[in-house]
Amino acid sequence: MFIRFFSICALLFLSSFASPLFLAHAEEEFLQLAIPLAQASQRETSVPASVTLAQAVWETGRGKSPIGAAKNYFGIKAGSSTSESVTIGPIATGWVWALTQEWDGKKYVERRERFRKYDSMADSFRDHGLLLAASPRYANAMRAVDDPREFARRIAAAGYATSPTYARDLIGLMDAENLYQHDLPRNAMELVTQSEPLQVNAGDIFQIYFEIKNIGFGTWSPTADYHLASANENRFSANPRQELDQLVSPERAKRWAITMIAPNETGTYESQWQFKHGAASVGAAMSAQIKVKPSPMPQMFFLIGGVCVFMLGTAGGLLWFGYRRWEKIAGNDAR
């Protein structure tokens, strides 16, 4: 009995220390799950990942209360009309009733509201991004996607939450935990593949290529001055500025094919190119190796010349033989 009592006491004692550690681990695990989802939303919608993370942490108590089984991490409500038809958007699979605290201008009051229900955490994050990006209500916020603090102020001003301190709470959380470190850059690229080292003859027309992937959150467009620029003198008659000819959305790739003319001087060359947005460089410079060999044309000239001499000699011999034959026949006729 004493041993059992002692064991229970020991477990209770240890649990008082383990519980905070367990909660801290669960909270950290939630953030690790949330970060890639917030970044995926930023790639698709441009909504800053730092703001998405701050809202998910704030709205759910760091993942502990996603409105019961609704998996709703942003407190997004289901709309209803006077006819009692409920709108849940393109991603939610239903809705649930839940109690919520709303600010009425003087104090918080408890209300029963409809909230969207999702099949997964990923669906909740994606719906949140699409809601902010597509709703006219948040159009002003979407003009500040490069400034997470201002973005938070604008969604609060647009009425995302009734709390009068909502923007301050989100910004305080982003600052305290440096959630900005998880924001994707607007412009980022990854070299997917490029042309192998080439061997060409002097004077040949040839192509090199670079295929690069948009891993930022902004779409590359020709009108926004995204282009490929020559980074050294070895561009071999190619235009020093290769223009973008299509939209390249996040996670899409673009192949740049560059037509060149090999120089007359033989040797091994590096042709360097830099992807740019306006005057700003994006990513590291890329280079292609080109080995220029002597042109085979002189040997061809000798070969063709030899053939011509042979043919002329043969033709001359045949003419001389024919002439001598004709002379002989004409002499015989004269006699």
pLDDT in tens, 76-101: 999 865 556 889 999 999 999 998 88
Which pLDDT does position 105 carry in this prediction?
A: 78
Which pLDDT belongs to residue 5?
36
The answer to the question of residue 255 being in a domain is yes
Whether residues 136 and 236 fall in one domain: no
Domain boundary among 114, 147, 182: 182
Question: How many folded domains does the chain comprise?
Answer: 2
Q: Let me know whether 167 and 208 are in one domain.
A: no
- Ramachandran sector of residue 259 (left: φ over 0; alpha: ψ -120 to 50; beta: rest): beta
Whether 214 is covered by a domain: the verdict is yes
Tens digits of per-residue pLDDT, 126-163? 999 999 999 999 999 999 999 999 999 999 999 999 99
Residue type, 59: E
End residue of a domain, out of 182, 211, 243: 182
End-to-end CA distance of the chain: 155
CA–CA distance, 183 with 177 (Å, rounded to integer): 13
- Same domain? 45 vs 145: yes
Residue 6 lies in a domain: no
Grade residue 3 by pLDDT with cuts at 50, 70 and 90.
Answer: very low
Q: Are residues 143 and 258 in the same domain?
A: no
Using the predicted structure, report yes or no on whether residue 17 has a pLDDT greater than 80: no
Q: Which domain holds residue 234?
A: 189-293
pLDDT of residue 10: 41
Task: For residue 195, give the CATH number of its domain.
Answer: 2.60.40.10
Q: Which residue has the higher pLDDT, 122 or 311?
A: 122
Check residue 244 and give its pLDDT.
Answer: 97
Weakest mean pLDDT among 17-21, 82-86, 149-153, 327-331: 17-21
Is residue 281 one of the residues assigned to a domain?
A: yes
Domain presence at residue 13: no
Enter the tokens of residue 39: 């970044």
Q: Which pLDDT belongs to residue 314?
A: 72
| Average pLDDT over every residue of 206-228 | 96
Buried residues in 180-199 as b, exposed as e (16+ CB within 10 A): bebbbeebebeeeebbeebe
Please say if the pLDDT value at position 15 is more than 90. no
Mean pLDDT of 32-60: 97
- pLDDT at 11 > cutoff 50: no
68 vs 210: which has the higher pLDDT? 210
Helix (H, G, I), strand (E, B) or coil at 274: strand
Secondary structure of residue 248 in the 3-state scheme: strand
Same domain, yes or no: 193 and 50: no
**Quick check: is 220 in a domain?**
yes
312 occurs within a structural domain: no
Same domain, yes or no: 95 and 196: no
42 lies in the same domain as 124? yes
Are 159 and 225 found together in one domain? no
Please report where in the chains the tokens 């994707």 appear, as a residue. Answer: 184
Q: Looking at the structure, tell me whether residues 214 and 119 fall in a common domain.
A: no
Same domain, yes or no: 217 and 289: yes
Considering 115, 147, 182, which residue would you say is the last residue of a domain? 182
- Let me know if residue 123 belongs to a domain: yes
Co-location of 150 and 173 in the same domain: yes
Q: Are residues 104 and 212 both part of a single domain?
A: no
| Residue 26 pLDDT greater than 80, yes or no | no
Mean pLDDT, residues 112-124 taken together: 95
- The CATH number covering residue 40 comes to 1.10.530.10
In this structure, of 21-25, 54-58, 130-134, 236-240, the range with the lowest mean pLDDT score is 21-25
d(CA 123, CA 44) in angstroms, rounded, equals: 13
